[in-house]
Chains A and B, each alone.
Chain A
Amino acid sequence: MLRIPCPHCGARDEIEFTYRGDATVARPGPDAGVDAFHDYLYLRTNPRGWQAEWWQHSSGCRAFLKLLRHTVTHEIRAVATATETLEVPGA
């Protein structure tokens, strides 16, 4: 069970949040072609280590947050609002 430090509400239980996947994926331009869209839709890096991910505080302030979470230890090192950027360190 995670305790997620929401920048608006403070530390809250994981049950209030909805996991929304990898936050580093960027939608390709409209002319990028079907291969680029296939990769955008289906391909994920699935790292063993640090990952930037979307978590929506759906039962709290409704905000979309970016979290830097370690996929092995579940340590949460940083949290940012949707418009901020998160630096993802190497594994």
Chain B
Amino acid sequence: MSAPEATHPLAAVATPGLRGAAGVAPLRVSLPVRETVQVMVRRGREEAFAAAMEASFGMAPPAPGHTLAGGAVTAIWIQPGGFMLTGAGPGLAERAALAFVGLAAVEDQSHGRTTITVSGPAARAVLARGCRLDLHTRAFGPGRAAMTQIAHIGCLLHQVDDAPSFELTVFSTLAEPFFHWLVEAGSGDGVVIA
């Protein structure tokens, strides 16, 4: 299906370096290469889908609000019967399409979505300026995921590790205004763009 985009949607604005103040605990931002594949299970085929997922990707479909990582692919629950598969690729969409023939609708969203990774001790405080979810360790954690709005922009958020690191997946057309918000929200302690 899709080759990587020749130009990253944030190439013009996300130039490496420090933005804002030079604080002691800046927010670290990076732009990972991600293939993003949306999978929607056909009604009544949930069990066959789970078996196919186990056979092809070595993991069960994640529970609501959770992610599961199997090798280089991470599956994220986004809605009842709906999952997002992400990985460094290439060929994830083809793999998923072959694995789920007749069981699920598979759509390659790699060009339509852009993933931004934020990490560091400042990450929760910065996200809290635009995100209405409780990301405190008591309520959220690694392996948890949520579809929500951040700064009024629809965003798929999932926590990767305890650093804490979060992956934010937004529509590519809104990635630039989202990125501007992120840099503004983090400017107090600085934003280091890798």
Contact = CB atoms under 8 A, between A and B. Distances in A.
| A and B pair up | yes
Interface of A: 8-10, 12-13, 15-16, 59-63
B64 A8 contact: yes
Interface string B145-158: 01111000010000
11 contacts: A8-B64, A8-B79, A9-B64, A9-B146, A9-B147, A12-B132, A15-B132, A16-B132, A59-B149, A61-B80, A62-B82
Nearest to B153: A59
A62 B156 CA distance: 13
Contact of B148 (A8, A16, A62, A63): A16
Contacts of B65: 9-10
A62 B154 CA distance: 12
A63 B78 CA distance: 11
Given A8-B64, A10-B65, A60 B147 contact: yes
A16 B79 CA distance: 14
B158 to A, nearest CB: 13
A61 B154 CA distance: 11
B120 to A, nearest CB: 25
B82 to A, nearest CB: 8
Interface of B: 64-65, 78-80, 82, 132-133, 146-149, 154
Contacts of A16: 132, 148-149
B149 A62 contact: no
Nearest to B146: A9
Q: Main secondary structure on chain A at its contact with chain B? A: loop
A8 B146 CA distance: 11
Given A8-B80, A59-B147, 10 more contacts: A8-B64, A13-B132, A16-B132, A59-B154, A60-B146, A60-B147, A60-B148, A61-B79, A61-B147, A62-B82
A85 B98 CA distance: 38
A15 B153 CA distance: 11
A70 B82 CA distance: 32
Contacts of A9: 64-65, 146-147
Contacts of A60: 79, 146-148
Given A8-B64, A9-B64, A9-B65, A15 B149 contact: yes
Contacts of B146: 9, 60
